Structure 1
Amino acid sequence: MRIAQVAPLYESVPPKLYGGTERVVSYLTEELVNMGYEVILFASGDSQTKARLVPICPRALRLDKNCRDSLIWHLYMLEEVFKNAKLFDIIHFHIEYLHLPLAARYNISFITTLHGRLDLPEYVPFFKKFRDLPFISISYSQRKGLPWLNWQANVYHGLPKDLYKFYPEKGKYLAFLGRISPEKRPDRAIEIAEKFGMELKIAAKVDKADEVYFKEVIKPMLKNPWVEFIGEIGEKEKNEFLGNAYALVFPIDWPEPFGLVMIESLACGTPVVAWNCGSVPEIIKDGKTGFIVDSIDSAIYALDKVAYLNRYDCRREFEERFTARRMAEEYLHIYQKIAKKEILLKAV
């Protein structure tokens, strides 16, 4: 089976620093190659893969200061994909909705994994035009915005089993990892750390869209003696950062489609204290791999109880539910059905 993976171009595959979707595409691609499948990856030219890379732009667009129009590179990629579409048994798109008008008009075997939030009102009229095309969700919660799409399956993200080392001993600081933005609520994390009386280490990037929020809201809070701001970190630094933490604080305030950092933390053995939003109840087992909370006070109460959790349970949960091999096997099952024209007519 010849499988094409079509990745966003904002980050390399895998990303050099922050990047969720591109990281998942990398894990999936490499696992499929390891399983003996021929994979063709459409991605930025600075990507690293054992698959056959079709480089679209010289480097990842987010860090390319010379890039003024990211859309045109994605349109160029679509031209390359559809020009060669008949060469593939299945095309797996990870670029949200850009390809849908073309894919609907070509007689090709393809699947779309939607990685982002789907609760925006402007999505409704657009996706209704393509509601019968095959889609994959990354959590059941994600589907709530567009429940009538032709959902073929739900496939949780996965990480390579040996990517993160297990840390059996609980750490002495709280960890916040990801992105500085209003919906990620780093302000909540800082307040929790101060009231709980434990150092908070923040490893996060600041996108251009969030620079004002960072400058006006978060930066003044970084003067708090309980807080250390590390900045953006890459894959190599994550293991130590998460593994040495007492708990990962995930105080989100939006319908998180998945939350890759939660399973990264579980892989290290570090429990997660997370707000009851989006996919959180699907990922975290309350009272076993962390706690699901809905207020600052309940988060502080939960952090007291984290000390009694078994970090081996966190690692075991990761190995049973969130490995890249499991993710690849589930996608392969879907690929095979679609390649044989066994697309379901109704969502599941």
Structure 2
Amino acid sequence: MRIGMVAPLAESVPPALYGGTERVVHYLTEELVRLGCEVTLFAAGDSRTSARLVGCAPRALRLDPAVRDQLPHHIAMLRTVREQADRFDLIHANIDWLHYPALLDRLGRTLTTLHGRLDLPDLRAVHHAYPEAPLVSVSEAQRAPLADLRLNWMGTVHHGLPADLYRPSTRGGDTLLFLGRISPEKRPDRAIRIAAAARMRLRIAAKVDAVDRDYHEREIAPLMRAHDVEFVGEVDDAGKQRLLAESRALLFPIDWPEPFGLVMIEAMACGTPVIAWRCGSVPEVVEPGVTGFIVASEAEAAEAARRAVLLDRGRIRARFEARFTAERMARDYLAIYARLCESASQRPIAA
């Protein structure tokens, strides 16, 4: 099968440090190539891939100080995708809905994975205007805000990681870990208070976006100083491996409808329990008492942190291997690709 894979340009594929969508695109692309597909990846020029790479920006836009607005670069990329569209059996787009107008006459052979939140009111307009676009959600919970619209959902595909990316740790440590991004919806303030209530040390390994810098300096940095929290900053895969392996549990105290939460399965791959709020995708990912705990308060989370040592880290890793590998993700997508191509050949969507 010939696939045109379209990635966001904000980060390279895979990202050097933080980056969710681009990381998932990388895992999927590499696994599709391994399974025999002919994949062309449209991405930042500093990406690394086994597929044919079409560099649509010299480097990841977030790391280019000359870039002030990312939208024009994505519009330029879509011109390139459009010009090469006839090379592929299908196009798999991972840039939300931005490609709809450019690929209007090819929407029947274009699969769109929606990676972000769908509860923002303005998004209803674009989905109402393009109900024929074949869509994949990354969790069932992600779809809920648009449940009243008759959209062309092809399925839900949970994210996956290469089975050999992280090594499971059988012991863990005595610290708790917050891993990801400093932002109000991720609630690092909760993580700090949970660790304090559990009388455990906390490490925070997180990116601070420009839009969240004031929040970090005003609210989070003082809390970290007051509770002697170790701030690590952004980390790569090797850094994640070490931190997760040394942690008793990952704290995921979110306060928003998380579409998936890749860090949860990164923790599971290391055998590390996850303590998470009942928001968004969490109930689809965390198995209470097996791979972690789902909580509704800081007090519950602190108690879960104390109990996390009782969970079997080998069993957590086994559940990761059963549910969240990149091979499983790729095979799920291949099944959807086949249905999409069959449907398009029978009833192509006209412009």
Instruction: Report the TM-score range of the alignment, normalised by the length of the smaller protein.
Output: over 0.9
Determine the C-alpha separation between the residues in 2 that align with 1:286 and 1:250: 14
Determine the C-alpha separation between the residues in 2 that align with 1:75 and 1:50: 25
Determine the C-alpha separation between the residues in 2 that align with 1:309 and 1:331: 32
Shift of 1:108: 5.5
Aligned to 2:223: 221
Shift of 1:124: 1.1
Q: Higher helix fraction: Structure 1 or Structure 2?
A: 2
Contact 2:79 2:102 in 1 (8 A): no
Contact 1:104 1:130 in 2 (8 A): no
CA distance 1:342–1:23, change in 2 (3 Å): same
Deviations 1:64-108 (A, max 9, x none): 101122111100110000111111001000000101122233365
Aligned to 1:168: 170
Aligned to 2:88: 88
Determine the C-alpha separation between the residues in 1 that align with 2:290 and 2:176: 18
- Does structure 1 residue 29 correspond to structure 2 residue 5? no
2:309 pairs, out of 302, 307, 310, with: 307
Aligned to 2:201: 199
Contact 2:108 2:133 in 1 (8 A): no
Aligned to 1:136: 136
CA distance 1:312–1:343, change in 2 (3 Å): farther
Q: Which moved more, 1:168-177 or 1:301-310?
A: 301-310
Counterpart of 1:259, as a letter, is G
- Does structure 1 residue 113 correspond to structure 2 residue 109? no
Contact 2:94 2:112 in 1 (8 A): yes
Determine the C-alpha separation between the residues in 2 that align with 1:107 and 1:158: 26
Contact 1:198 1:226 in 2 (8 A): no
Q: Superposed, which structure 2 residues align to 1:2-21 within 5 Å?
A: 2-21=2-21
Aligned to 1:276: 278
Contact 2:11 2:62 in 1 (8 A): yes
Counterpart of 1:91, as a letter, is I
Shift of 1:313: 1.5
Q: Which moved more, 1:217-226 or 1:179-188?
A: 217-226
Aligned to 2:328: 326
2:153 pairs, out of 146, 151, 154, with: 151
Aligned to 2:267: 265
Determine the C-alpha separation between the residues in 2 that align with 1:130 and 1:169: 50
Q: Which moved more, 1:296-305 or 1:111-120?
A: 296-305
Determine the C-alpha separation between the residues in 1 that align with 2:111 and 2:176: 39
Q: Secondary structure at the match of 1:316?
A: helix
In the alignment of these two chains, the number of paired residues is: 345
Contact 1:11 1:62 in 2 (8 A): yes
Structure 2 alignment gaps of length 5 or more: none
Aligned to 1:58: 58
Contact 1:45 1:60 in 2 (8 A): yes
Aligned to 2:294: 292
Counterpart of 1:119, as a letter, is D
Determine the C-alpha separation between the residues in 1 that align with 2:319 and 2:108: 37
Contact 2:7 2:95 in 1 (8 A): yes
Aligned to 2:75: 75
Aligned to 1:47: 47
Q: Secondary structure at the match of 2:225?
A: coil
Q: Secondary structure at the match of 1:325?
A: helix
Shift of 1:340: 1.9
Counterpart of 2:138, as a letter, is I
CA distance 1:167–1:100, change in 2 (3 Å): same
Determine the C-alpha separation between the residues in 2 that align with 1:133 and 1:69: 26
Deviations 1:244-279 (A, max 9, x none): 110000000000000000000000000000001000
Amino-acid identity (%): 54
Question: Taking structure 1 as the reference length, what is the TM-score of the superposition?
Answer: 0.97
Q: Secondary structure at the match of 1:68?
A: coil
Deviations 1:109-151 (A, max 9, x none): 1100000000011111221011121100000000011123211
Counterpart of 1:130, as a letter, is Y
